[in-house]
Amino acid sequence: MNHPFADPRLELAVRAALPQDVLAQPLRSLTRLDAAALGIRRLLGIEALSELRWLDLSRNPLSSLVDLRANTKLIRLLLRQTGIASLAGLEGLPELEDLDLSGAQVIDIQAIEGLPSLRSLDLGLCLVKRLSALATLARLESLTLGNPTLALGRSFFARPQPIELDLSPLRALGRLRQLRLYGLSMRSAASLDALLGLEELVLDRCTFEDRLREFPLLARLEVLSLSDCDVSALRVLTRLPRLRVLCLDEAEISDLSPLLGCEALESVSLRDVKLNKRGSIDQLRRHPRLAQLRLDNQLVELRDRK
């Protein structure tokens, strides 16, 4: 292997990924490379891996992605907890389907407009404030957005403050099936009413001005998480005809009895719930389809009554 790499740590990762007889294996034969947490700073030379499909560069102090422009066959790219602030260099990767930037220092995501095949995007714990580029991702099926302060955790004295984001670009994502939002401040969950294809929705640690009194009619939604939310009225969830799995861990709830109107419900998690009416748990046990009920650290398997 005579091809030069600007960073010796990247070269070591490539050597480790190739068979021992590297002279008989050209670099272009490599389709998968795990180079996470190696201290890699520069990617110059990686263009020689022209057949690369899967690449993990997570937890490296990278400063630029421009050298990835030639890796046009990439399908999955993991950049978790990297120092990347800009995605310049990713535009023009026509086959990229899965991009994981969770915990990265990304501020500008404009380059994703050049990713026509993208199906999954994780921006959890990122500093991105402008989401307009998301509206161009016509094939996107899974999206994660999260408050970067959540990485600091909750202390005895304070908890991370929810942040406001303009979520209007999401209305263009007609193929979205999975949406995960963490620690956001929203006027109402009803703002997600255009996402009719959603099957899974996570709104953990989000706040709602209307205290979740309105909820969009999402006819395909099967999984919903409202962990650590102030849920004043659960009756709005009866508008979800396919809701099977509901997580309400650490949520503030006044009454569980409205869940009896969620006819498809099979599993409910109630760990560390602040519940005003404890008796409503007994009512919930009588739900005709409910098979699992998690109370704190206890998982109660109810008899099959389908």
Q: Which of 89, 118, 137 is the last residue of a domain?
A: 89
Please give the average per-residue pLDDT across 29-36, as a whole number: 96
Q: Which of 36, 60, 89 is the last residue of a domain?
A: 89
214 within a domain of the structure (yes/no): yes
Q: Indicate if 23 and 63 belong to the same structural domain.
A: yes
- pLDDT of 140 higher than 50: yes
Helix or strand holding residue 192 (H, E): none
Q: Indicate if 106 and 226 belong to the same structural domain.
A: yes
Long-range contacts of 217-223 (CB under 8 A, 24+ apart): 217/193, 218/192, 218/193, 220/196, 222/264, 223/199
- pLDDT of 13 higher than 60: yes
Residue 171 structure tokens? 């209305």
**How confident is the model at residue 212, as a pLDDT?**
87
- pLDDT of 157 higher than 50: no
Q: Which domain holds residue 11?
A: 1-89
Q: Indicate if 225 and 174 belong to the same structural domain.
A: yes
The rounded distance, in Å, linking the Cα atoms of 75 and 69 is 13
The rounded distance, in Å, linking the Cα atoms of 81 and 257 is 42
CATH label of the domain that carries residue 119: 3.80.10.10
Burial readout 97-124 (b: 16 or more C-beta within 10 A, e: otherwise) = bbbbbbbbbbeebebbebbeebbbbbbb
- pLDDT of 247 higher than 90: yes
Q: CA 238, 179, 166, 226: dihedral to nearest 10 degrees? A: 50
Q: Indicate if 203 and 68 belong to the same structural domain.
A: no
Q: Supply φ then ψ for residue 200, to 5 degrees.
A: -135, 130
Instruction: Classify 23 as helix, strand or coil.
Output: helix
Amino acid at 2: N
283 within a domain of the structure (yes/no): yes
Q: Indicate if 23 and 143 belong to the same structural domain.
A: no
- pLDDT of 15 higher than 50: yes
What burial class does residue 62 get, using C-beta atoms within 10 Å of its C-beta: 0-12 exposed, 13-18 middle, 19+ buried? Answer: buried
Share of the chain above pLDDT 70, in %: 92
- For residue range 44-100, list pLDDT tens digits in order: 999 999 999 999 999 999 999 999 999 999 999 999 999 999 999 999 899 999 999
Q: Which range among 103-107, 130-134, 157-161, 243-247 shows the weakest confidence by mean pLDDT?
A: 157-161
Instruction: Look at residues 103, 114, 188 and name the one whose alpha carbon lies nearest to residue 149.
Output: 103
Count of domains observed in the chain = 2
71 within a domain of the structure (yes/no): yes
133 within a domain of the structure (yes/no): yes
The rounded distance, in Å, linking the Cα atoms of 224 and 237 is 10
Question: Which DSSP state fits 8?
Answer: H
Degrees to nearest 5, angle at CA 24 with 18 and 27: 50
Q: Indicate if 206 and 183 belong to the same structural domain.
A: yes
243 within a domain of the structure (yes/no): yes
Name the pLDDT band for 156 (thresholds 50, 70, 90).
Answer: very low
Q: Indicate if 205 and 160 belong to the same structural domain.
A: yes
Share of the chain above pLDDT 90, in %: 74
Amino acid at 115: L
According to DSSP, the residues that pair with 146 across neighbouring strands are: 182
Helix or strand holding residue 81 (H, E): none
306 within a domain of the structure (yes/no): no
Q: Indicate if 118 and 78 belong to the same structural domain.
A: no
Instruction: Look at residues 131, 116, 122 and name the one whose alpha carbon lies nearest to residue 104.
Output: 122
Distant-in-sequence, close-in-space partners of 77: CB < 8 Å, separation ≥ 6? 55, 57, 68, 90, 93, 96, 98, 99, 100
Q: Which of 55, 89, 123 is the last residue of a domain?
A: 89
